[in-house]
Amino acid sequence: EFGNRLIKAAEQMEAINFSADRQHRAAETELSGPITLSIPDVLGQYLLLDDLTKFCATYPDIELSIQSSYQFADLDRSEADVVVRGTNKPPEHFVGRRLFPYALSFYCKSDYFEQTRPENYQWITGLPASQPGDWIADSPYPDVPIGLMSDDISFHYQAAVAGHGMIRTACYICDPDPRLIRVPNAMPPIPVADLWVLTHPDLRETPRIKLLMRFLVSALKSRKNLVEGRLNPDRSSPS
């Protein structure tokens, strides 16, 4: 019992320490210093790479560190200062901007159906534990078996580019690539979850944090059609 009380006291002290650190950073008024941005790696690689590079070049006094993760960083524990995520349920006490949903569609290499015999068609998917269950059944090829499985979204993309199968993934990853097409007879892109740019309430008025958040919101809004799957709606193979 005494040990449990000590643990509780230690956790309270830790929370006070994190809060004091946030208050210290929140009081900084210069457009300089460190920022840790938590962002899924595919958003960083396929959607915001050029923008993040531009931000670093434009504001060299801001030390931007990018943390690639699909899990929400714990802003209360200062694991990050800003997060960008696609979600329908962000932590309630985070503050920031909700933008628009990202969409998914079905893709394959442009000559996949000409170069592959029907009996060799296959899907490239996530691992079984991460499968949504019914999206293959709702696809234009519900009877095609699963071939390659990986928990790496970039692996899916590269495998599709190499002609190894069909994938379901974010439109912003595949639509800009002329080597890929949307699978024929697919339904319109499916909106999945809204994109959010968020920070901790204690940091919302910190100048460099506000600057990065405005920059990210502007960059994402400029790619709204791409994110929503409306960039190349007609680029698909003949059915």
Residues 21, 93 within the same domain: yes
pLDDT tens for each residue of 21-37: 666 666 666 788 899 99
What's the residue count for the chain? 239
| DSSP 8-state symbol, 136 | T
Do 79 and 38 lie in one domain? The reply is yes
Q: CATH number, domain at 59? A: 3.40.190.10
Q: Which H or E run contains 219?
A: helix 207-221
126: domain range? Answer: 102-191
The verdict on 6 and 95 lying in the same domain is yes
Question: Do 85 and 192 contact (CB within 8 A), yes or no?
Answer: no
Based on the fold, state whether residues 183 and 110 are members of the same structural domain: yes
According to the model, what pLDDT value does residue 31 have? 81
Q: Are residues 41 and 154 in the same domain?
A: no
Kindly state whether residues 179 and 200 are assigned to the same domain: no
Give the residue among 97, 95, 90, 96 at the shortest CA–CA distance from 72.
90
- pLDDT for 127: 83
| CA pseudo-torsion sign 28, 32, 34, 39 | positive
Whether the CB-CB separation of 140 and 162 falls below 8 Å is answered with no
Residue 124 has pLDDT above 90, yes or no: yes
Q: Please check whether residues 148 and 202 belong to one and the same domain.
A: no
The reply to whether 233 falls in a domain is: no
**pLDDT reported for residue 155:** 95
Q: Is residue 52 part of a domain?
A: yes
Residue of higher predicted confidence among 166 and 9: 166
Cα end-to-end span (Å), the chain: 69
DSSP-derived pairing of the beta strands 95-109 and 190-199: antiparallel
Same domain, 86 and 201: yes
215 and 184 together in one domain:
no
Classify residue 93: in a domain, yes or no.
Answer: yes
Number of independent structural domains in the chain: 2
| Alpha-carbon gap, residue 68 to 41, rounded angstroms | 5
Domain assignment of residue 237, yes or no: no
